A and B are shown apart, each in its own frame.
Chain A
Amino acid sequence: MVREVAESCVDTMLMEMVAMYSGRFYANKPELAARRIEAIGYQVGHQLSERYTMERPRFSDHLEAIKFICKDFWSEVFKKQIDNLKTNHRGTFVLQDNKFRWLSRVSIDPSPEKETEDPLSTPGESKAAQAVSMYLYFPCGIIRGVLSNLGIPCAVSADISSLPTCSFVIRVKA
């Protein structure tokens, strides 16, 4: 039987991790906090992928590996699959989760000037949006960790146009 813990254990731990790095350690340096949080996610993704791919054959191409994330990996971690996968067939993949669990209880003031927030850019975004984007570095790091462990170096960003829908954009490095 798969061992489980209460969801609130993971939820509160992630909240505290973000609060610790973006509130206490690097309150005035969000980019440093972001890098640390991403690194923690990377480590987790790296280790989880090792466990979940133990008994599978090697993935034949990038798409196979991405599909593994959408189906098997997402199911293990979030108990659901990615809802929509798009690709331009040139190394960019967009994974859309219509009800991303780690954002399902997050609310945000709709800022009239700008609705889409990208955690890797946009200076001058509203404080609230920045706070939400802090939570996204962790799953972005996880995805990057999984793919890099499968031999696919990439950059991952997230896009939250309408909460709790969340899209992860993977750009495979050529």
Chain B
Amino acid sequence: MAPVGPRSGDAIFSSIDRVNAELFMLTYGAIVRQLLTDLEEVEEVNKQLDQMGYNIGIRLIDEFLAKSGVSRCVDFKETAEMIAKVGFKMFLGVTASVSSWEADGTCCSIILEDNPLVDFVELPDTCQGLYYCNVLSGVIRGALEMVSMKTEVTWTRDVLRGDDAYELQVKLLKQVAEEYPYKDDE
């Protein structure tokens, strides 16, 4: 693994403002419940949670860059490690691990053993198609898009659906070259 930026996830997490995680998980749970009531279609709820995550991700990336002091990652491998070791730690206080790399280095899995979103959650039979934590995949997609990486993030394992861990597959679709100077009419 390439050297991490000047600050570790632990150091950042212990220095930033934190709040009671129960408030966080119960609020998220209440939002999901309300969406299920309002939208009826589980598929549509998944979509809205992802959209919510995307919008959060495009904001959190700024905080991530500002507080972590990391500089440009040399490749997607380093990016994934950075998300797992620094990103998850500084925001949610947990670390994730990265595995299952494809040979070309554009697709990997981020595995979360401890997920603070789901401490009080059980899915009823009526919500079997729900990706409860879909906000997380949206956050990663949104954050990476802001640093010029188009990705596709999907859940491959989910404890709420009977698996033994939470696993996100992150696939790099393309690196968007930054254009500079920007054209005036855009």
Residue positions of A touching B, CB distance < 8 A: 2-10, 12-17, 19-20, 25, 36, 39-41, 43-44, 47-48, 51, 76-77, 79
Contacts and interface: CB of A to CB of B under 8 A. Distances in A.
Contacts of A19: 55
B26 A48 contact: yes
B22 interface: yes
A81 to B, nearest CB: 15
Interface in B2-20: 13, 16-20
Contacts of A6: 13, 16-19, 90-93
A4 B20 contact: yes
A44 B19 contact: no
B63 interface: yes
B88 to A, nearest CB: 11
Given A13-B24, A44-B27, A5 B34 contact: no
B105 interface: no
B60 A12 contact: yes
Given A4-B19, A5-B93, A44 B13 contact: no
Contacts, number: 102
A40 B92 contact: no
B112 to A, nearest CB: 14
Given A3-B116, A5-B92, A44 B56 contact: no
A43 B23 contact: no
Given A44-B26, A51-B22, A5 B116 contact: yes
A79 B20 CA distance: 9
B21 interface: yes
A4 B14 CA distance: 10
B19 A7 contact: yes
A10 B63 contact: no
Contacts of B34: 36, 39-40, 43
Contacts of A7: 16-19
Given A8-B60, A10-B19, A51-B22, A3 B31 contact: no
B23 A44 contact: yes
A3 B118 CA distance: 13
Nearest to A6: B91
B95 to A, nearest CB: 14
Interface string B28-64: 1111011000100000000010011001100110010
